Structure 1
């Protein structure tokens, strides 16, 4: 679920009033939407009183002009309007107009932005020579001949853009900017967009590939996007071009909070005299190349390295994907079959109990999709402490201690044995060696470290302290060795619910910075859960009562293991007549069945002619021919693997159907058992819900949410399909499955 401010959440969940205006911005090309949305014009007194200061930044067109006394600007043909005397009477959008002749125009941003290119509409009075300045770049333009100006210059770390003309096309004239776009491309917002629909689908067990489909319809009544109009920006469009979607919500204080919606790729577009339609999809839709490099590895290869090889073979930029480091611990020996790159990633995700998806920035993620095993430890606990037991949720047995005001005279306290060899202590949870001073401070702050099998997204946790809870602590969350977040908590109580949306982490350090005066830190239990603060409620969030469906029960789940054997006889696998030239003397043979011990030969070699395999896998061999020009026959020989199938079964219900699941990468019996447990937990959750609701840009496919239910308090659902529609206001539909995994079902 997309992170958002508390003000945003409160506004979207308010039951007392309607939501304020919702905004949407869609860019086709390279436009910095964040910079566009936050740009503003300072020092309004430096500009003509009839200037517009917001519309040039919000994609409004200048359609009608006021007559002014600029040189060679105003025609006497009735096409312009008389200029009002006061600003209060100005109704026409004139863009930004400098107060002085050839005066500068400055645009500012509240934070630094990298702006890749600019698109400006100057109108009929355009500058011929001018300068564009920013914090780290100055660009001098000479000889401009058009009112529609585009530059591909990059302005890095910009907090301002200043445009200063030195020569205008019409002589002595005020400088005007009718419209400016922070980037190069086409840009639509509420003014042009008629409707927009984003549909996401993610299977929690990778039964099929994830998808994102985006459809956009914009107003074309002025025929600005006529495909026969050579000057139309529609000619800028290309298949596969990037599309960026941004959602905005006006808050109670009048500000607008912007959330990234999606980054997708253009598939097709069409236009008539009323509207223009666009459709786009995710990156996986274009990853249709074939992976032939499958290789049987007796010593195994980690799914992490296998995923790297697939992504490298697909020529995916390493800066645009992230692979869970947990996959380094999962090894397979079987070769990847000949499949499309996207299907290879799907097989890896399933074999690693992961989900494959594209995030809102267009990056590919392979992320674990189970609650990971956790281990707690501490290097500063006292001799009767058991830091590792804080995760087991078991009742703790408190010892009487001599720290200040800690021990009550009740039968629930136990006498502490002396520290001697062989003494077995009660299950106490974590007790620090350090004792806080009279002001609650420590010479060295006590810490507990929790290491996770895989990365984890946590929407809060519960802490259960002993008597005299500490006063302050800091959570240090790490991901792949890098600090992801520091979060300080000061209002601790004996049982504390930490309602915070933590960054994803695979290591968490709890540092106690202030304890109860003259006391140790005593922490009995920590309870994690894939928690959520989002609740679908009747009569408010939901616009129609939920439709629940009881799915067919599964009695048994069988996971197929595929075992490879090297028992085949050497035989000819392929033979072809190829054409060899001085610049192209290599040829690749592809095999239907996996093979090994490959060799090649020329059928009728002559003196000095050779053929050598220079690259191969179990499914291909690339042969290099030396000493030949023209046609030659080459054969490739080898042995084919034989395979055997066996099963690992898990019973899910006393009655129902039998399901079979086969992933060709799975061979090990323990691996198959883990997959059976993972998929089995999903299939046991055999209730599906269809929801119609008000629409929320924060929600992603695979999010978990609560659903108000009369019979089951805090009914937990996992979203697998989410459709968000915009037609001036938001609405949404969701398909979700009951989540009955061992998730802590506690609502914030």
Structure 2
């Protein structure tokens, strides 16, 4: 789920929303953030008939006013007389300088990297001019067209300043009709008739993730006629980047923009009324076969295996992220000869992860389970049990000498002395440090929670003992890097922290102010809601949900695939006639079955001829031939692995059907058992829901959300398919499955609403 402002969340929860929603779609390399925030300062430098906003908002200048610029006005009836007053100006003229050959400056609120510019100058275009930014100046000479495109990169730009020195018509005002921060074309609400984004992610990686986007734009002016040689449609290519941006009007008149998707053009067509585009995710094109799988008895991590698959697929290392948790998951079996995208799917499933493309187009392999959590503290007293704060058990209280802590009710116990062999009651975390008379600690007590993998939560509940502390700070870390410091003042005995924490794999609770002359006593921590999004009747939902009871699964069997060495002698695995030239003396053989102990030989070898295996895997061997020109027959010999199978079972229900799950990477018993638990939780949630709702751009496939239900007030759903439609306003549909993995941690949000 996309991060947004609290104001946006509040607005979108209202029964009656602001109806103004926006979509922008670019094809090419266009910085949408820069485009949407660009503005022209100092309006007094421009004529009264200028429009300083429309050139950045994709408005074309179609009709012109007559002006007294040199060689500008025509008498063919195509121009209009210029009104005397600003209020009477109705035709868009773009940006027009007050001075002859005056500069035009465009500013941005923050720094942006702008890769290229597309500018429409109109009929009075500059021949020689200069473009300046914070770190770059480009001199243009000999421009011969009103349509100008440059591929120059303006890094870290907070402004762009255009200064002409020679105009095509002599002494003329400088004009910009339209400007695009990048190279390409883009469409907004005025052109877009409809846009639909459909995402699908299997929570257990049963299928590959998909994103399909369809766009229909108005073409009544035939601007995108495929027979028009000057039309921008002729510059479109399959695989070009398409960027989608969603916007929502806020109460103060501003627009909060959310990244929608970065996809790749698949096909397009046009008639005299409209033009249709379709785009898809980057996995769609990752269909080359991965042949580098190898059996490793010592094992290799799923992290390293994923890196190798992505490297073989020629994915830039800056365009993917792999959960560091996968460094700890080892497999021995070779990756089968499958496409790169299928290989990533197998890795994701074996690692209990989801594979997906984020909204910037980057590939993510991310853990998808509630990780094991280990609390610990190096500053707890001798009768403290910091490791027990997550077990949700009732804690006992000892009488202590702290001020106003001990009572005379039979609710507290005498404290044994600190000596070897003493046994203590079930307590939570109790700090060694005692606050002074002002509640200040000499060294702040703290409790650290280490997680098996990254986790994101939207709140937690703290249960303190008597005389709870006053203030604390949460420090969230991910992969050793501090992500957030979040202070919580005004603590109570039971403190509910309603906060959207960033993803973390270590959380440190630091107590910065306590009760005078008291220790910190923390009995329990409950990680609460893993989402803050609720689907309610009469608000988000536009139709009552349709629930489906799925067939129950009685037993889940996870197949373990075991590789062994063959007792048979080596045999011929492949034989082919290879054509060798001086420029190409290498050839790769491929095998149907995983093999090892490979050797290569020329069947009718002659003096000076030689063949060497220079690279091999379980499914391929690359040979290099020397002393040969022309055709020669080469044979590859070796042994095939003996492959057997075993099963790990999990009982899910007393009755139902038997389901089997096979991932060829899984061989270890514990690995298979963990996978069975993960998949079993999904299959145990045997209810699906079809929902129609009013649309929410921040929602993604695989998000979880609460659904209002009179029988299950904390009903959690895992979204596996989300369709967001735009036709001037948002609407959407959701397909979701009951989520059982988060039930234990979920709180009854709806009961408090």
TM-score (norm 2): 0.98
* 1:533 shift after superposition: 1.1
Asked if structure 1 preserves the Cα contact closer than 8 Å seen for 2:713 and 2:748, the reply is no
Identify unmatched segments of 5+ residues in structure 1.
none
Match of 2:654 in 1: 654
SS of 2:348's partner is helix
* 1:742 shift after superposition: 4.4
Match of 1:612 in 2: 612
Asked if structure 2 preserves the Cα contact closer than 8 Å seen for 1:225 and 1:233, the reply is yes
Asked if structure 2 preserves the Cα contact closer than 8 Å seen for 1:268 and 1:278, the reply is yes
Question: C-alpha distance in 1, partners of 2:145/2:409?
Answer: 89
Question: C-alpha distance in 2, partners of 1:18/1:377?
Answer: 46
Question: C-alpha distance in 2, partners of 1:746/1:102?
Answer: 66
Match of 1:644 in 2: 644
Match of 2:427 in 1: 428
Question: C-alpha distance in 2, partners of 1:64/1:719?
Answer: 49
Question: C-alpha distance in 2, partners of 1:383/1:121?
Answer: 75
Asked if structure 1 preserves the Cα contact closer than 8 Å seen for 2:598 and 2:638, the reply is yes
Asked if structure 2 preserves the Cα contact closer than 8 Å seen for 1:533 and 1:747, the reply is no
Asked if structure 2 preserves the Cα contact closer than 8 Å seen for 1:531 and 1:747, the reply is no
Match of 2:633 in 1: 633
Question: C-alpha distance in 2, partners of 1:742/1:180?
Answer: 48
Question: C-alpha distance in 2, partners of 1:509/1:420?
Answer: 30
Match of 1:602 in 2: 602
Q: State how 1:29-178 maps to structure 2 within 5 Å.
A: 29-178=28-177
* 1:690 shift after superposition: 0.2
Asked if structure 1 preserves the Cα contact closer than 8 Å seen for 2:287 and 2:339, the reply is yes
SS of 1:435's partner is coil
Question: C-alpha distance in 1, partners of 2:408/2:170?
Answer: 95
- CA RMSD after TM alignment: 1.2
* 1:747 shift after superposition: 5.0
Match of 1:679 in 2: 679
* 1:728 shift after superposition: 0.3
Question: C-alpha distance in 2, partners of 1:328/1:86?
Answer: 69
SS of 2:389's partner is helix
Superposed CA deviations along residues 600-651 of structure 1, whole A, max 9, x for unmatched, are 1111111111111000001111111111111111111001112112211111
Match of 1:551 in 2: 550
Match of 1:277 in 2: 276
- Give every structure 1 segment of 4 or more consecutive aligned residues whose post-TM-superposition deviation is greater than 3 Å: none
Asked if structure 2 preserves the Cα contact closer than 8 Å seen for 1:434 and 1:444, the reply is yes
* 1:530 shift after superposition: 5.3
Superposed CA deviations along residues 33-69 of structure 1, whole A, max 9, x for unmatched, are 1111111111111110111111111111111111111
Question: C-alpha distance in 2, partners of 1:116/1:375?
Answer: 46
Match of 1:694 in 2: 694
* 1:536 shift after superposition: 0.8
Match of 1:724 in 2: 724
Q: State how 1:704-715 maps to structure 2 within 5 Å.
A: 704-715=704-715
Superposed CA deviations along residues 566-616 of structure 1, whole A, max 9, x for unmatched, are 124311111111111111111111111111110011111111111110000
Instruction: Report the CA distance shift for 1:581/1:530 in structure 2 as closer, same or farther (over 3 A).
Output: farther
SS of 2:265's partner is strand
Question: C-alpha distance in 1, partners of 2:129/2:321?
Answer: 43
Q: State how 1:346-495 maps to structure 2 within 5 Å.
A: 346-495=345-494
Match of 2:747 in 1: 746
Superposed CA deviations along residues 368-425 of structure 1, whole A, max 9, x for unmatched, are 1110000011111111111111111111111122222223332112222221122112
Asked if structure 1 preserves the Cα contact closer than 8 Å seen for 2:194 and 2:216, the reply is yes
Asked if structure 1 preserves the Cα contact closer than 8 Å seen for 2:399 and 2:415, the reply is yes
SS of 2:51's partner is coil
Asked if structure 2 preserves the Cα contact closer than 8 Å seen for 1:569 and 1:640, the reply is no
Asked if structure 2 preserves the Cα contact closer than 8 Å seen for 1:113 and 1:159, the reply is yes
* 1:487 shift after superposition: 1.6
Match of 1:28 in 2: 27
SS of 2:492's partner is coil
Match of 1:211 in 2: 210
**How many residues end up aligned between the 2 structures?**
747
Question: C-alpha distance in 2, partners of 1:30/1:414?
Answer: 69
Asked if structure 2 preserves the Cα contact closer than 8 Å seen for 1:20 and 1:251, the reply is no
Identify unmatched segments of 5+ residues in structure 2.
none
Question: C-alpha distance in 1, partners of 2:692/2:703?
Answer: 16
TM-score (norm 1): 0.98
SS of 1:545's partner is coil
Match of 2:735 in 1: 735
Question: C-alpha distance in 1, partners of 2:582/2:612?
Answer: 16
Asked if structure 1 preserves the Cα contact closer than 8 Å seen for 2:529 and 2:747, the reply is no
Match of 1:4 in 2: 4
Question: C-alpha distance in 2, partners of 1:400/1:159?
Answer: 63
SS of 2:543's partner is strand
Question: C-alpha distance in 2, partners of 1:166/1:245?
Answer: 37
Match of 1:235 in 2: 234
Question: C-alpha distance in 1, partners of 2:251/2:529?
Answer: 30
Match of 1:265 in 2: 264
Question: C-alpha distance in 2, partners of 1:608/1:18?
Answer: 81
Match of 2:534 in 1: 535
Superposed CA deviations along residues 152-204 of structure 1, whole A, max 9, x for unmatched, are 11111111111111111111111111111111111111111000000000000
Superposed CA deviations along residues 330-357 of structure 1, whole A, max 9, x for unmatched, are 1111111110000001011111111111
Instruction: Report the CA distance shift for 1:172/1:439 in structure 2 as closer, same or farther (over 3 A).
Output: farther
Match of 1:582 in 2: 582
Superposed CA deviations along residues 693-718 of structure 1, whole A, max 9, x for unmatched, are 00000110011101111111121111
Q: State how 1:178-327 maps to structure 2 within 5 Å.
A: 178-327=177-326
Question: C-alpha distance in 2, partners of 1:469/1:97?
Answer: 66
Question: C-alpha distance in 1, partners of 2:163/2:405?
Answer: 72
SS of 1:544's partner is coil
Question: C-alpha distance in 2, partners of 1:184/1:306?
Answer: 37
SS of 2:542's partner is strand
Question: C-alpha distance in 2, partners of 1:358/1:171?
Answer: 52
Question: C-alpha distance in 2, partners of 1:404/1:127?
Answer: 82
